[in-house]
Amino acid sequence: MDVLLLFSMGIGYILCFLIFYSFISICAHAQPELRLPAPVHTFDTLVAGEQLQHTFVFQNAGTEPVELGFVSSSCDCASPAWPHRPVAPGDTGTIRIVFNATGKAGPVDKHFTLYDKLRQPVGRVSLRGYVKPVPPKPWPRQFSWKQKFTFNGTEPDTNMPEWRQVHLFTRLQRPARVVIDIMASASHVPTLSFGDNQTLARERARQTELRLRAYLRGTGVPRKQVLIKSQVKVQGPPYKPGNEAAYEPYQYVQVLVKLDDAPGQ
């Protein structure tokens, strides 16, 4: 019994030693050593929407080939790419980062963790810098729109979005005065509702001015801030029956909204 016991204990010690040696060997083999000469890249200021590409270099400072299995990113705004092949001892590899600044503003500090094939972290690189927002587009100093009319129509369409833009224009441009030029046109097609086409064009201008003033009054724009001027004209070829479509382009009201640059107004 004593001989068997000693033999069993001896076998146990040997097995423990082999397992421990194998574990040490595996651990020693599974710990690659990467050297990162410049693990942090600080970039100049970007404008939101721009992209930046940077390549980090690493060196295999260990004694065994090393292959990166994965590179994680702290932000979905950056995409890493790495070599999917073993890097021999002493050789170098690269990690390319593409950073997309769309929707970003302010300081940037993004980190990327390098993992080997066993998903053990072996290094980290970082991108740092600043993203400034896209500057707003300057509000125009003038805008215009044109509304077509039927041959006897005089009522402007106040549901057009340009009418709401008039209020926005006057609100953003305060305290400057705004001038609204109304150009009302009629063709030479005989009118059924007015004595002549000049009167028809004049009525179109008057109705447009009345609707503009009522709209601006309802939005709280001071009356003295807006100057409305009107012009009327009858234009197009002389009327010939049977070709009314040729006169439709001359049935309109055009509205021009602009800032008044005159001094002392």
Tens digits of per-residue pLDDT, 166-191?
A: 988 888 887 788 999 999 999 999 98
pLDDT in tens, 196-213: 999 999 999 999 999 999
Q: What is the pLDDT of residue 253?
A: 96
pLDDT digits (tens, 9 = 90+) for 41-56: 999 899 999 999 999 9
**250 and 146 within one domain:** yes
109 and 158, same domain (yes or no): no
Indicate if 113 and 183 belong to the same structural domain: no
| CATH at residue 56 | 2.60.40.10
93, 110, 132 - which closes a domain: 132
Q: What are phi and psi of 80, to 5 degrees?
A: -90, 150
Q: Do 74 and 170 share a structural domain?
A: no
Residue 242: is its pLDDT beyond 60?
yes
Q: Is residue 202 part of a domain?
A: yes
Higher confidence at residue 195 or residue 1?
195
243-253 in b/e burial notation, b at 16+ Cβ within 10 A?
Answer: eeeebeebbbb
Structural domain harbouring 175: 142-259
d(CA 165, CA 144): 10
Task: Quote the crossing angle between the two packed helices 197-218 and 161-172, to the nearest 10°.
Answer: 60
Burial of 78 (0-12, 13-18, 19+ CB in 10 A): buried
Last residue of a domain, one of 68, 98, 132: 132
CA 145 to chain centre: 27
Mean pLDDT of 13-38: 61
- As for how many domains the chain has, the answer is 2
Instruction: State the CATH number of the domain containing residue 230.
Output: 3.30.1330.60
